[in-house]
Amino acid sequence: MAKSLFDKIWDAHVVKAIPGGLEVFYIDRHLIHEVTSPQAFDELQERGLPLSRPGQILATADHNVPTRNQHLPIEDPLSRSQVDKLTENCEKFGVELFGLGHQYQGIVHVIGPELGVTQPGMTIVCGDSHTSTHGAFGAIAFGIGTSQVTQVMASQCLLISRPKRMRITVDGALQPGVTAKDIILHIIARLGTGGATGYFVEYAGSAIRGLSMEGRMTVCNMSIEMGARGGLIAPDATTFEYLQGRPYAPQGERWEQAVDYWQTLYSEEGAEFESELSFDAAAITPMITYGTNPGMGIALNGNIPVLGTDGEAASFDKSLAYMGFAPGESLLGKEINYVFIGSCTNSRIEDLRAVAAYVKGKHKAQHVEAIIVPGSKLVEKQAIAEGIDQVLAEAGFELREPGCSACLAMNDDKIPAGAYCVSTSNRNFEGRQGPGARTLLASPLVAAITAVEGRIVDITQYLN
Amino acid sequence: MEKFQTLRSGVVPLPIENVDTDQIIPARFLKATTREGFGQNLFADWRYQPDGQPKADFVLNNPRYQGQILLAGKNFGCGSSREHAAWALYDAGFKVVISSYFADIFRGNALNTGLLPLQVSDEVLQGLFRQIELEPETQLVVDLPSQTLSVPVWDATIGFELDAYKKECLINGYDDIDYLVSQRDAIKTYEQLRKWVF
């Protein structure tokens, strides 16, 4: 029977099926960070269990770290203690750690791919819902809770049931100014924030194949925002070219063998999907969100819908009241206070290049605070090598040090209550960027143009 | 994990859809390195003013609604994978969350915490919201062995679905770790046989 990409990888990782539908599912790579791992390490020790496969775990500090003065001790005592605990646990259990100050430190979903740790055909988990990012390489990657982190530490396996399969095909050519971020915001706006719950999504079609690895990561990253466990894209020449020569990628003869295997990873003609959707790439416009979940998105020059269905009306009204917007209105002309460019969705070198290309020779609006946070030390280094840091400084943007930063307001970087922030991150939930903060999700290009104009504009007028 | 068999309790209604785990427990409260104490910050930004005073209009601050069952709008627990959300609900005394569907990761985290995610139809959910609004003191009975939710005031019993293995785990207070560790030999054999490691 014709097999899907998802089934090929999933089947290859089933250690054992148990009656009732659950499977003992093998995990190739386990990524950990300071926030969701301490309780798991403690649990392991309380039960007197060894760490099953320390060599298959990689750790970094990202959620809690400051993005200024990383060479100094972390000021916040709770954050410092959590980061210290990670260091202590990694030393005790023999786990490789890219902590603060390390040349490879960065956001866990940025460093895995850029180091070549993430490879096609793998199963990858992390105590973070945006683990779906790694699916861009043709891997089954998904976020897990801390109890499951403990399970993988103890056994290198999870006890889980197989999700349903969905394929989303995006065919055609993108309009100027439309990026990977707009594709995924468009899809989520159509499906809603729970529309893919229970599914694992394969993204296919010419518009997806035409994306760079960075763009594919942006798309897969936000799969969770429509409820999907994860998203993945069949590996191809773009994938192999990106991976070749990266520090943890296979070398020499092993590289050749790996590519031979990776080339078998695609959905065969006639493979079954429980749900299939298609989108016309040419119909996608630059997007922005207006509400408090990522499904509440509209075309940048469109209007906020007038009402949801009856059952949804109360939640919809609550959301608009929080944002300070009215049903049916346009966002064009709305003044913006903050622009945040960063997060595991859009903090890679391609994102920084897109911003720099637009803002070169321009300056941010006086009233806007524009923060740009590279996803990793390697991205930061590359940006400096290309002179992007200079371009940004001249445009009045502040280039920070790597971390999750204002995506989740758990570190020092927060947006004040009531302020509007155009953000390249993945979540516009109430308070996500700080209590009372109002988040509008958009692409790095939209964010850059907004920073310069100081208000929401129809970006198609600003492209040359 | 504590055992769960039967619960008779009042209900706390939260008729909001797509409640995300950032609302259940905001990220700034995730800095603890133990599992305890998250309950005091459950729904922190809906529950407290910036100065820490309770917000009178939030249901957890309303003495009319008491109980260990949270009744919530569809797609409860979407967003971040933080298990702290399930810990916070459990720590605050909740044993059951009823909704018309749950986000996948939250559902798994709840089951691993000993908190029962009980899924009902949209129709039943709306009926329950109306019932609690009319009679806030309404009691519900959740019986896990028979997989039923009873609404005595309606004289009705509604079945709910749950994976048989997960049900056994909840009833007996087991978690997945013991089972997975017992599979070590099978896992080792799998590791020796697989070919696609480069």
Percent of chain A with pLDDT over 90: 97
Which tokens in the block code for residue A56? 């298959």
Please give the pLDDT value at position A19.
85
Tell me whether residue A28 is exposed, middle or buried, using C-beta atoms within 10 angstroms of its C-beta: 0 to 12, 13 to 18, 19 or more.
Answer: buried
DSSP conformation letters of B121-190:
-HHHHHHHHHHHHH-TT--EEEETTTTEEEEGGGTEEEE----HHHHHHHHHT--HHHHHHHTHHHHHHH
* A18, A144, A315 ranked by CB distance to B16: nearest: A315
Please give the pLDDT value at position B198.
84
Residues of B in contact with A63 (CB under 8 A): 27, 30
* A21, A79, A197 ranked by CB distance to B163: nearest: A21
Q: Which long-range contacts (CB under 8 A, 24 or more apart) does A116-119 make?
A: A116/A243, A116/A246, A116/A247, A116/A248, A116/A249, A117/A29, A117/A31, A117/A58, A117/A248, A118/A29, A119/A243, A119/A249, A119/A250, A119/A258, A119/A262, A119/B198
The continuous run of DSSP H or E covering B107 comes out as helix B104-113
Mean pLDDT taken over chain A: 97
User: Using N-to-C axis directions, what is the helix angle for A349-359 and A377-385, rounded to 10°?
Assistant: 40
pLDDT at A311 over 80: no
B149-170: average pLDDT: 95
Residue B39 is given by DSSP the state G
Cβ under 8 Å to A: B residues 96-135 = 101, 103-105, 108-109, 112-113, 122, 126
B81–chain A Cβ distance below 8 A for any pair: yes
A330-355: average pLDDT: 98
B23–chain A Cβ distance below 8 A for any pair: yes
E strands, B31-123, where? Answer: 69-72, 96-99, 116-119
**Model confidence over A220-251: pLDDT tens digits?**
999 999 999 999 999 999 999 999 999 999 99
* Furthest CA-CA distance within chain A: 64
What type of residue is A312? E
**Model confidence over A283-309: pLDDT tens digits?**
999 999 999 999 999 999 999 999 765
**Model confidence over B51-90: pLDDT tens digits?**
999 999 999 999 999 999 999 999 999 999 999 999 999 9
**Model confidence over A28-58: pLDDT tens digits?**
999 999 999 999 999 999 999 999 999 999 9
* A85, A119, A409 ranked by CB distance to B27: nearest: A409
Please give the pLDDT value at position A309.
57
Q: Would you say the pTM of this structure is higher than 0.95?
A: yes
CB pairs under 8 A between A and B: 192
Please give the pLDDT value at position A20.
83
pLDDT at B123 over 80: yes
